[in-house]
Structure 1
Amino acid sequence: MTRLYNDPSAFADEMIEGFAAASGRWVRPVAGGVVRRRRPRTATVAVVVGGGSGHYPAFGGLVGPGLAHGAAMGNLFASPSAQQVYSVAKQANTGAGVLLTYGNYAGDVLHFDQAQERLIAEGIPCRTVLVTDDISSATADQRDQRRGIAGDLVVFKAAAAAAEAGYSLDEVARVAGHANHQTRSFGVAFTGCTLPGADTPLFTVPEGRMAVGMGIHGEPGINEQDVPTADQLAELLVTALLDEVPDGVGEIAGSRVAVILNGLGSVKYEELFVVYRRVAQLLTAAGVDVVEPDVGEFVTSFDMAGVSLTLTWLDDELERFWRAPADTPAYRKGPIGYAHPGDGPTAGAAATGEEPDGLVEVDPDGAIGEGPDGPAGTDPDAAAGPVIPAATADSQRAGQLVCAVLRAVRTTIDRHADELGRIDAVAGDGDHGIGMQRGAGAASLAAEEAGEQGAGVRTVLTRAADAWADRAGGTSGALWGAALRAMAETFNDASAPSGTDVATAVQQAAQAIVRYGKAELGDKTMVDALLPFSTALRHAVDDGLPLGDAWQRATAVAQAAADDTASLLPRKGRARPHAEKSLGTPDAGAVSLALVVAAVHTALVDQA
């Protein structure tokens, strides 16, 4: 379990700060994550990776020459926000476009897609390649629904090597997609992981048993079996992966593969080497030529005791990129001629001390010369601060009511965060409580700041929406941010909304969540509580009830609908591969929705 932390909600931020301070030879911190300390003088495609924290060395530890150009780093097991991804990508971009590549998780897809849309709208070419290597998370004919686990490393490295070779954005994306197509991974776990401040792990495995097919976010395995010997485990992993050879590989005998035996956090290197001994024997016996295998920790799951095996079936191009040199805080391969701050000239550097390989140094304050996209060390969003639009007194009073509502929501979520995490951990990753806590807290603070400056209801709610999405990350962060912004756009700063306006705003919020989350009734998500709530609120308002009474009636409907999700099987998100485990437990998103609307009712009564 995690022993060293301060405030659990600040753990990821403090970890990232410490990582950047310790890794200044390779990276510099920017809003949302880190980017390479040096950037090329000529434009090359920037490969930006990312995901939740808790997987070190993924993702920040893989930034450096020969690998990623930047990493967006979210909260523990929660995707970075769209703003974080956008910020990192802007800083990493040198003028040749950006490739976003990351594991296939709902929250990451939501946030990275929003960031991509924003980059393209600003004229920055951007492509995305999802990593889908985990064979346990979906069947072979549903590969697009699979999770990304340790195969991330192969895809990231292939894309980055192609970028270093001067490939265009389309070609870098092609290489990354091909690397993903050729990659398969499979893993097991002996214990779950425990997040900072938590009393129990996200899942448990009985003594002497192991979870087979676990995820890297604390998701439990798809089944359990007795703990095997090291050789038996190697045979299980190799057999599973050789049973699903990518299309186009042909005969196994004579094929070349890159191999990664990945420790998930608590399995010692010595144990990994014992397992790899048998992995190598089995692959050799199958006639497979192993190319530069890697054994160690590459994509972890905090302190989980577990192991995964990755095979990438190589052709000449992928083998060249797999063998290409790389030099990052946590992953190094082959000779590197890049100089680093304070090192002086290296092999390949001119005797004059000029920077080798066309790189330009970014000083610790982020100030360098003009790059292809302007002053490359500056924050693209740095400004004196946004202007508060003028608002009428009625709209300002409505804005103050929103502030009171969000304070009540924050208090309720703080009180129930642990329980929300426990519910989420039954078949998911257990981060829902933390994400809701960070989101509600940030939204409340942003609303208060706007309200103190005389903002109207639309502006207050807009600031709250952006803060929730940016601070919470994860799927719920994206969805709550989209919902609040949709509500804000139905209001204005010239008048106070009526009960009918509020009911319409809730309908708009529900539509935004359905549109972005692509969930329907019965999928076991927050939609199962939100849509009945929205419908009930509209009917109550149309029946002529005052807003407080209408909201109370709809709140009871939301609570009953949230309770009813206990009988559903999840069809979306990380819980989907573990559907049976969630029977009897309500959906965490639906429960948090019911808690939020109940808190809103309390605030409406108090402010009446």
Structure 2
Amino acid sequence: MTRLFNEPAAFADELVAGFVAANRGRVRAVHGGVARATRSEPGTVALVVGGGSGHYPAFGGLVGAGLAHGAAMGNLFASPSTQQVLSVARAAEHGGGVLLSYGNYAGDVLNFDAAEAQLIAEGIPTRTVRVTDDISSASVAEKHRRRGIAGDLVVFKVAGAAAEAGYELDEVVRVATLANERTRSFGVAFTGCTLPGAAEPLFTVPEGRMALGLGIHGEPGIGETDIPTADGLAEIFVEALLGELPDGVDAPAGQRVVVVLNGLGSVKYEELYVVYGGIARRLEEAGVEIVEPEVGEFCTSFDMAGASLTLVWLDEELETLWAAPADAPGYRKGSVPPREAVEADPEPQTSSEAVMAPASEGSRRAAARVTAALDATAAVIDAHVDELGRIDAVAGDGDHGIGMQRGATAAAVAARDAHDAGAGAGTVLVRAADAWSDRAGGTSGALWGVMLRALGTRIGDEVAPDAATLALGAREALDGIRAYGKAEVGDKTMVDAIVPFVEVLETRVAAGDELADAWDAASAAATEAAAATAELLPRMGRARPHAERSLGTPDAGAHSFGLVVTAAAAALSRKDTVR
């Protein structure tokens, strides 16, 4: 278990602060993560990587000369927010465009894609390469759906070396894509991992058994077997990966291959070396020539006891880029000449310092209700944070509770600050939206940001919003969720609860009901629909590969939506809100 922490919700922020303090010569803190502390050649491509915290040295530990230029570091096991990715990319970019690269997880895709679109709109050429090396997470026919695990290191190393060598953006994308296509990984686990403050691990493996095909966020594996000997595990690894050769590799014999044996947190280096001996023998027997192998921890999962094997099928260019020097806190190869330090970035303007839009007296009174509703939201999430994490861990990664807690708390604080500064209801909601998505990260953070921003934009600051305006804002929030997340009713997501909420709210408001009555009816419909997701199989997100495991358990996002709209009902129904 994870034993050393202060406040669990602050763990990710505190680990970044400590990491920067220990590596000031290589990295500097920027909002949302870290960037290189040394200058890069002007006009070269900037490689920006990222993902959830809890996987060191991925992702911040891979920032340095010859590797990444910046890393967006999200909450524990949750993707960084769009704002975090933007901040890191802007700090890392130096004239040659940006390549975004990350493991293929739903929250990362949502937030990195949104950041890519914004960077392009700002005139910064930006491209994306998603890492999809885990063969257990989808079939060959759907390999674009596969998640990224320790293959992240390979793709980042090749892309970083190409950028260092002066490749233009399209060429860096080309070799990074080739590295991803030529990389395959397979992992196993003997125990689950435990997030800071949690009483139980995200999943367990029966005593004496080994889970096959696990994910680095604690997603359950695809099967189990008795724990083998070290040689037995080497055989499982090699057979799995030789069983799926990349396009262009007809047979293993005669091929040059990079081997990465990765420990996931609690398997010791000595054990890894014993396993590696068996791997090397089997690959050599298959006629494979091993090139510059790596044995150690490159993409971990807190205290998970497990390991993964990665094979990279080389061509001459990939081999040259893999062998190039690199100097990052968590990965070094060869010798990199000293670099000039960059100046510290100025502190960004905070929301409270930004210019406040004028608001009517009616809108400011409504802002008090909105603020009270967001306070109620933060309180109900605090009360259910462990339950939300437990539900999410059944077939996912268990981060939903802590992500919702961070987001809801940040939204409540931002709303209160905006209200105290005289903001209207629309501005309060927009400020809360930005704070929620920025602090929570992950899929839920992005989606709650979309919803609150859509609602705030519709309400505005000119007049006190009526029930019809709120209903229209709710419809536009739903439209935003569908456009952003691509989910529909039946996919076992929060959309299953949002749709009935919006439909009932619209119907009751159109029938002339008071807002309080309409909202109560809509909240009840959302809560009922959220409970009914227990009987659905997920068709999207991290839970999709483990669909059967989630039967009998509601979707965490749908359940939390029901909690939030129910908690908000009391505040929204009051004629006046006194704080």
Q: TM-score range by the shorter chain?
A: over 0.9
Q: Does 1:479 align with 2:459?
A: no
Q: State how far apart, in whole Å, the 2-side matches of 1:486 and 1:225 are.
A: 49
Tell me how far 1:154 sits from its aligned partner.
0.3
Tell me how far 1:380 sits from its aligned partner.
6.7
Q: State how far apart, in whole Å, the 2-side matches of 1:186 and 1:113 are.
A: 27
> Which residues in structure 2 correspond to 1:41-440 (within 5 Å)?
41-336=41-336, 338-339=337-338, 359-363=339-343, 366=344, 377-378=345-346, 385-440=353-408
Q: 2:475 aligns with which of 471, 488, 507?
A: 507
Q: Percent identity?
A: 65
Instruction: Describe the superposition over 1:246-281 as per-residue Cα deviations: whole angstroms up to 9, x where unpaired.
Output: 011122100111110000000000000010000000
Match of 1:577 in 2: 545
Match of 1:464 in 2: 432
Tell me how far 1:127 sits from its aligned partner.
0.5
Q: State how far apart, in whole Å, the 1-side matches of 2:267 and 2:234 are.
A: 14
Match of 1:522 in 2: 490
Name the SS for the 2:471 alignment partner.
helix
Q: State how far apart, in whole Å, the 2-side matches of 1:511 and 1:193 are.
A: 37
Q: For the aligned residues, what is the CA RMSD?
A: 1.2
Q: State how far apart, in whole Å, the 2-side matches of 1:224 and 1:384 are.
A: 52
Name the SS for the 2:216 alignment partner.
coil
Q: Number of residues paired by the alignment?
A: 576
Instruction: Describe the superposition over 1:421-457 as per-residue Cα deviations: whole angstroms up to 9, x where unpaired.
Output: 0000000000000000000000010011110111011
Q: 1:598 aligns with which of 534, 546, 566?
A: 566
Name the SS for the 1:210 alignment partner.
strand
Instruction: Give the gaps of 5 or more residues in structure 1.
Output: 340-358, 367-376
Name the SS for the 2:291 alignment partner.
strand
Contact 2:351 2:431 in 1 (8 A): no
Q: Does 1:538 align with 2:518?
A: no
Name the SS for the 2:39 alignment partner.
strand
Contact 2:80 2:442 in 1 (8 A): yes
Contact 2:154 2:179 in 1 (8 A): yes
Tell me how far 1:39 sits from its aligned partner.
1.4
Name the SS for the 1:483 alignment partner.
helix
Q: State how far apart, in whole Å, the 1-side matches of 2:575 and 2:401 are.
A: 27
Tell me how far 1:382 sits from its aligned partner.
7.6
Tell me how far 1:200 sits from its aligned partner.
0.1
The one-letter code matched in structure 1 to 2:252 is: I
Name the SS for the 2:190 alignment partner.
strand
Name the SS for the 2:234 alignment partner.
helix
Match of 1:589 in 2: 557
Q: State how far apart, in whole Å, the 2-side matches of 1:386 and 1:120 are.
A: 25
Contact 2:370 2:572 in 1 (8 A): no
> Which residues in structure 2 correspond to 1:7-22 (within 5 Å)?
7-22=7-22
Name the SS for the 1:38 alignment partner.
coil
Tell me how far 1:523 sits from its aligned partner.
0.6
Q: State how far apart, in whole Å, the 2-side matches of 1:118 and 1:520 are.
A: 26
Match of 1:493 in 2: 461
Question: What's the TM-score, normalizing by structure 2?
Answer: 0.98
The one-letter code matched in structure 2 to 1:424 is: D
Name the SS for the 1:191 alignment partner.
coil
Q: State how far apart, in whole Å, the 1-side matches of 2:564 and 2:351 are.
A: 33
Q: 1:382 to 1:532 in 2, by over 3 A?
A: closer
Tell me how far 1:605 sits from its aligned partner.
3.4
Tell me how far 1:535 sits from its aligned partner.
0.7
Instruction: Give the gaps of 5 or more residues in structure 2.
Output: none
Q: State how far apart, in whole Å, the 2-side matches of 1:276 and 1:607 are.
A: 69
Q: State how far apart, in whole Å, the 2-side matches of 1:384 and 1:507 are.
A: 29
Q: State how far apart, in whole Å, the 2-side matches of 1:252 and 1:224 are.
A: 27
Name the SS for the 2:64 alignment partner.
coil
Q: 1:550 to 1:517 in 2, by over 3 A?
A: same
Q: State how far apart, in whole Å, the 2-side matches of 1:381 and 1:398 are.
A: 26
Instruction: Describe the superposition over 1:89-139 as per-residue Cα deviations: whole angstroms up to 9, x where unpaired.
Output: 111111111100000011111111111111111111111100000111110
Name the SS for the 2:102 alignment partner.
strand
The one-letter code matched in structure 2 to 1:104 is: N
Name the SS for the 2:311 alignment partner.
strand
Contact 2:352 2:418 in 1 (8 A): no
Q: 1:438 to 1:383 in 2, by over 3 A?
A: closer
The one-letter code matched in structure 1 to 2:341 is: E
Instruction: Describe the superposition over 1:397-440 as per-residue Cα deviations: whole angstroms up to 9, x where unpaired.
Output: 11111101100111000000100000000000000000000000
Instruction: Describe the superposition over 1:575-596 as per-residue Cα deviations: whole angstroms up to 9, x where unpaired.
Output: 1111111111000001001001
Q: State how far apart, in whole Å, the 1-side matches of 2:542 and 2:558 are.
A: 15
Contact 1:87 1:380 in 2 (8 A): no
Q: State how far apart, in whole Å, the 1-side matches of 2:90 and 2:526 are.
A: 41
Question: What's the TM-score, normalizing by structure 1?
Answer: 0.93
Q: State how far apart, in whole Å, the 2-side matches of 1:9 and 1:384 are.
A: 23
Contact 2:82 2:114 in 1 (8 A): yes
Name the SS for the 1:361 alignment partner.
coil
Match of 1:343 in 2: none
Q: State how far apart, in whole Å, the 1-side matches of 2:414 and 2:32 are.
A: 18
Name the SS for the 1:61 alignment partner.
helix
The one-letter code matched in structure 2 to 1:292 is: E
Contact 1:51 1:59 in 2 (8 A): yes
Tell me how far 1:533 sits from its aligned partner.
1.0
Tell me how far 1:360 sits from its aligned partner.
3.0
Contact 1:231 1:275 in 2 (8 A): yes
Q: State how far apart, in whole Å, the 2-side matches of 1:243 and 1:270 are.
A: 27
Name the SS for the 1:35 alignment partner.
strand
Q: 1:383 to 1:551 in 2, by over 3 A?
A: closer
